[in-house]
A and B are shown apart, each in its own frame.
Chain A
Amino acid sequence: MGNFVIRDLNQSFPRDDGSRLVVLDHLSFEVQDKEFVCILGSSGCGKTTLLRLIAGLDEAQAGSIILDGEEIRGPNPKVGMVFQEYSLFPWRTVIDNIAFGLEMKGMGKEERYRIAEKYLDLVNLSQFRTSYPSELSGGMRQRVAVTRALALDPVLLLMDEPFGALDAQTRNMLQKELLEIWEKTKKTIIFITHSVDEAVFLADRIIVLTPRPGRICQIFPIELKRPRDRTSVEFAQVRRQVLDLIGQHCVIQ
């Protein structure tokens, strides 16, 4: 299961002059099991803050984050995360990176390699199993990072602009791959992006945040059938709708 509820989430940081910078303001939304949700917003709107709270890496000032009826307080094995920056451990080979979480669970070498191998196959990187991350391209590194998060079989996968640093072609390819993986593994995914194109291509629903303080501006279901064709007329129409909406309602006031 991967039912996920956020209620009345507040977060603010102290400023130098003593006042507080409100980053998230009474944020509430729900995500269904196995749903792919994109959170869309310009930089500085608190997207990453929100994701870090869900991951349990930071603590919210007020409000609750509930996964399958259980409140999240601190990092949780049911939640996986893929960071924006390159986060592979450079001193471990690809297979040891993927098997890291399993190793932490105390699983023996043979079994964790068997599982890691299976996931490595899923992203067609088997021939790089003993390579070090420095030997991989940016796209491959992020594929391994996704695989590493999946190897622990989380119910909820958080992705913080994971393809942001990649070139457009690699990015499109990885988006397609991610959807295939999602079809196969059926995780609930919360994916952060600032690209409307990426959000429309990936999401079941797009949650648009306003910047400073982060509030929900609109929730936008995407009804387009998969696989989506980003050059089709329908795709362009949806994109325009989302862009118009952001332009009308979700700019800084």
Chain B
Amino acid sequence: MSRWEQKNHNRWLGVCAIAIALIIWEAIAAGIIKNPFILPAPTDVFSAFIELLQKGRLILDFEASLIHFGIGLIAALLIGIPIGIVMGWSRRFDAFLDPVIEILRPIPPLAWIPFAIIWFGLTSWSAGFVIFVGAVFPVIINTYSGFRSVPRIFVETGKMLGCTKNRDLIRFIAFPAALPSVAAGIRIATGVGWMCLVAAELFGVSNNGLGMALWFFYNLHRMDYVVVYMILLGLIGLFFDMLFRYYMDRHFLKWRTGEVA
């Protein structure tokens, strides 16, 4: 069997597993539990999805969530990357900032919700802030460790070729060398930020939002709608991750081909 056939074959295995899971789910929900409030069957969920699409609600929820998520992630990049750079480049900044970051880092992002509300009110910014708290630390840590592990030989080569100022060394040598690690950090941050999304929307910062809607329909006991939003949250998160990986591989990490398996 060729490699390509093997790969295709394995993909079919994955599709089979999803199909089997759906069949078991349907059998348990429709055959054993028989109560769509406790466990809606896949067929219920699918028709709920169609209903929601027809109401035109999904797009609005998706847009609202995208705004919250975008605020949080962009702020995390704008603040996290520079902090990671100065800490990774200068031992002094590292010694200075590290204790503060290590104390703040273990605080769960959701514990910031009260202050998010006090500082930003019930606006998209406060949801964005909670997502920011979740996303900023992976960005800092990975940028930092990427800069720390820039091979000395590259920095010295740069110096021998006339790149001697700190700013130039960071821009032309350390940042490109650390980019794979920075990118990995952004990817982790995307995942963590997305996970914070539901909780960030629970406290009613907007009328729409995937997390907001999930909570809203739970209060209406429409569990089939709740499952639709759960699955959408999962699929959109997966989609972001794939999009990001594809983009990174194509545009930034061409030079790593042959180095990563």
CA separation between A132 and B255, bound complex, in Å? 6
Closest 3 pairs (CB-CB, A-B): A101-B161, A104-B162, A91-B176
Quick check: A87 and B153 within 8 Å, CB to CB?
yes
- Closest-by-CB residue of A relative to B254 is A132
Quick check: B256 and A90 within 8 Å, CB to CB?
yes
CA separation between A57 and B153, bound complex, in Å? 11
In this assembly, does A135 line the interface, its C-beta being within 8 Å of a C-beta of chain B?
yes
Binding site for B on A (CB under 8 A): 55, 57, 74-75, 77, 79-81, 83, 85, 87, 89-92, 100-101, 104-105, 132-135, 148-149, 152
Q: Interface residues of B toward A: which range?
A: 20 to 34
Contacts between chains A and B (CB distance < 8 A), count: 64
Name B's interface SS: helix
**Contact mask for chain B residues 142-154; partner A; CB cutoff 8 A; 1 contact, 0 none:** 0000000000011
Q: List chain A residues, Cβ under 8 A from B98.
A: none
Which residue of the partner chain, among B160, B161, B163, B259, contacts A134 with CB atoms under 8 Å? B259
CA separation between A30 and B177, bound complex, in Å? 38
- Closest-by-CB residue of B relative to A85 is B153
Quick check: A101 and B255 within 8 Å, CB to CB?
no
> How far, in Å, is B254 (CB) from chain A's closest CB?
7
CA separation between A184 and B18, bound complex, in Å? 67
Quick check: A149 and B256 within 8 Å, CB to CB?
no
**Contact mask for chain B residues 43-80; partner A; CB cutoff 8 A; 1 contact, 0 none:** 00000000000000000000000000000000000000
Q: List chain A residues, Cβ under 8 A from B161.
A: 100-101, 104, 148-149, 152
- Closest-by-CB residue of A relative to B173 is A89
Quick check: A104 and B255 within 8 Å, CB to CB?
no
CA separation between A41 and B177, bound complex, in Å? 34
Given A87-B153, A87-B154, does the pair A75, B257 have CB atoms closer than 8 Å? no
